[in-house]
Amino acid sequence: MKTHSVGVFGIGWVAGEHIKAYGQNPHIKVAALASRRRQSAQAAKDKLAPDCDVMDTFDDLVRRDDIDIIDICSPNALHAEEAVAAAQAGKHVVIEKPIAMNLQELRAVRDAVVKAKVKSQVGFVLRWNPHIQSIRSMIDKGGLGDLYYTEVDYYHEIGPWWSGWKWGAATRDGGPSASLMAGCHAVDLLRYFGGEAEEVFAYGTFGHRKDYEYEPTYAAVVKFRNGKVGKTGCSFENECPYILNILLHGTKGSVLNEKFFTKDWFPGQKGWQQFNTAFADSGDVAHHPFQAMVDDLATALLEDREATANIHEAYKSHELCLAIDRSIETGRPVRLPLSE
C-alpha cells in the first residue's frame, strides 16, 4: 500500500486540523512539522503526531527527500512564495487559502504547480460540507432545473480574539482584503454552484469597526458566462453568530440555506422542506470537513488525478476575489479573466 509523507509548515489553528486528518488516512503519514516558532511545532508533535520530526524552517522540510507533500499553513502573505518553492522542488502542495495576495503571485503559483506536474489541494474545505454536497447533488440531478440566480455570503465576526489577527485580518500586509482573507469561501461556492463569472461590480464599506485597514464589508453582483446573475458578500464586523448564507433560484426549485423547494421531485409540495444533514454553521475550524479534503487528496495521488480543490479551481476563485477588490478600488465593473 502506497504511503505518502507530508511536512506541515505553520503550526496554528488550522494546521492542527490538517494534522489530525492526515493521521486518520492510511495513505498519508506526517513526517515532519515546522513553524516560525519551534515550540508550536513541538507542541503539535507531542499532542498530535508523536512519531514525526520537528524541523526549524520551511526550507528544512522542502530539502527532505522523504517528504512527498508540503502542507502550507503559514501566514497569508507567505503562501505564494512557499508554494512556488515546494512545487519547484517536486513536492505536491496543500495550500491554505488565500494562496496569493495579488494576480502576479496567483499566476506564479499556478504556473509552478503546472510546470512541476505535482498535485495540489487548496483549503476550500466547505466544498466537502455535507449540506454543500447535498445542494451540489441536487443541482447535478436536475432538482432545481437551470439556475438563474446564485447567492452565497460569508458573515463571520473576526477580531483580536483570533490568533492570526495581526497578520491575517487587521493589516494590508497580511490580508489585503476581506475577499481574500475569508470571503473567498463564499466566492468559491458561488462558482461551485453557479459556474464561471464574466463580470463583477462591487462596493466595500466600513461599518462600525475602526481596527481594519481595509473595508471589512463588501457586496458584489456577478454576471456569469451563461448570462445568469448572482451575488456574494462578506463582513467581518457583523455582531451576530457565523452565517454562511445560500440562496439559489432555478427553473424547477429553490434553496434557502437549510431549506429547499422543488415540485418536480415532490409533487404537491406546499412549503419548504428541510435538509437533514450537517450544515456549515460555524467558523471554528474544528467544525470543517478537513478529513474529506485530505482523503480527496490521497485518492487523487493514488489514482493520478487532480484533487477537487486543485490549483486550477483555486485560481479561478482567487481571480474572482481579486476582481471584486479591483471593482471596489476603481468603482467600476471588472471583467474576467483579469488582465494586468
- How far apart CA 266 and CA 284 sit, in angstroms, is 35
Q: How many CB atoms lie within 10 A of CB 195?
A: 15
Length of the chain: 340
pLDDT at 295: 98
3-state secondary structure of 202: strand
* Amino acid identity for residue 25 in this structure: N
pLDDT at 240 over 70: yes
3-state secondary structure of 137: helix
**HSE-CB of 210 using CA atoms within 13 angstroms:** 0
Confidence band for 302, pLDDT divided at 50, 70 and 90: very high
Q: How many CB atoms lie within 10 A of CB 46?
A: 10
Confidence band for 175, pLDDT divided at 50, 70 and 90: low
pLDDT tens track for 32-91: 999 999 999 999 999 999 999 999 999 999 999 999 999 999 999 999 999 999 999 999
How many percent of the chain have pLDDT more than 90? Answer: 90
Q: Let me know if 170 is exposed, middle or buried by CB neighbors in 10 A (0-12, 13-18, 19+).
A: buried
Q: Which CATH superfamily is domain 126-283+317-335 in?
A: Dihydrodipicolinate Reductase; domain 2 (3.30.360.10)
> Grid coordinates representing 220?
458584489
Domain ranges in the chain with CATH number 3.30.360.10: 126-283+317-335
Mean pLDDT of 252-279: 96
- How far apart CA 208 and CA 291 sit, in angstroms, is 37
- How far apart CA 47 and CA 54 sit, in angstroms, is 13
Q: Let me know if 254 is exposed, middle or buried by CB neighbors in 10 A (0-12, 13-18, 19+).
A: middle
pLDDT tens track for 96-151: 999 999 999 999 999 999 999 999 999 999 999 999 999 999 999 999 999 999 99
CATH 3.40.50.720 fits 4-125+290-310, yes or no: yes
- How far apart CA 229 and CA 231 sit, in angstroms, is 7
* Amino acid identity for residue 101 in this structure: M
- How far apart CA 152 and CA 154 sit, in angstroms, is 7
> Residue for cell digits 446564485?
150
Domain ranges in the chain with CATH number 3.40.50.720: 4-125+290-310
pLDDT tens track for 202-219: 999 999 998 998 999 999
CA 263 to chain centre: 33
C-alpha radius of gyration, the chain, whole number: 20
